[in-house]
Amino acid sequence: ALCPQELRSGCFWRGVLAEASATLIFVGVVLGASAAPGPLAPALAGGLAAGALACTLGAPQANPALTLALLCTRKLGALRGAAGLLAQCAGAVLASAAARLVLPDDASLTTRVSAAGTVRQALAWETFATFQLALVAFAAADRAAPQGGLALGSAVAAGTLAAGPFSGGSMNPARSLGPAIVTGVWDDHWVSQQHPQVPPRDPNVGMG
């Protein structure tokens, strides 16, 4: 249910700011690393960034897929979820705009289905990678911050390495949506817009 009084809560706005900041940092780090050839650099950069942010910013989702899963399972309020989604998208757009200014071209920004497989294969790998990330994120909510951050970072790196050759291994709709808005290239960006329905144990889960 909508609770307009939440808008007067400092905790509410700190959570929204954490989502925007975490997504901006995560997407910026991944886009910068994606300029290097191969999936290893973005996998390591994304994993390290996810682990660090989970330990320092109160475990923001920084991923619309995880936020939508929380909303669908009623573990997150509608107003907080909607604000979080908007903040994540805004952070991703800002990171993408900044990356476009400094990167030599748009090739590393956009989501593309690689020559290694078809669109269906890319979608299957992206869905699988996002599912394992969500599963680890929900389980990590019961762990202390360092252990939870390590688990989340490992899941991000593993998912990127597994799905990278087929879809880029985004696992994060904001990471795909931000560059699409900035560059105007929408081809295949929908591959990363899938989100799994995993019952979370706690709303304080990490990103991907």
155-187 confidence digits (pLDDT tens):
999 999 998 888 778 889 998 899 889 988 877
In 3D space, the residue among 112, 128, 107 whose CA is nearest the CA of residue 171 turns out to be 128
Q: How confident is the model at residue 5 (pLDDT cuts 50, 70, 90)?
A: confident
Task: Domain 9-183: state its class.
Answer: mainly alpha
* 3 state DSSP class of 36: coil
Residue spans per domain, the chain = 9-183
Task: Please tell me the predicted confidence (pLDDT) of residue 200.
Answer: 44
| pLDDT tens-digit map of 42-84 | 899 999 999 999 888 877 889 999 888 888 878 788 888 899 9
Name residues whose C-beta falls within 8 Å of residue 134's C-beta, 6 or more positions apart in sequence: 65, 66, 69, 195, 196, 198, 208
Residue 122, pLDDT > 70, answer: yes
Angle at 23 between CA 115 and CA 2, to 5 degrees: 120
What is the separation, in whole angstroms, between the first and last Cα of the chain?
Answer: 27
Report how far apart, in Å, the C-alpha atoms of 65 and of each of 7, 118, 127, 144, 198 are: 23, 23, 11, 23, 10
pTM of the entire predicted model? 0.82
Least confident among 9-13, 92-96, 99-103: 9-13
pLDDT(111) > 70: no
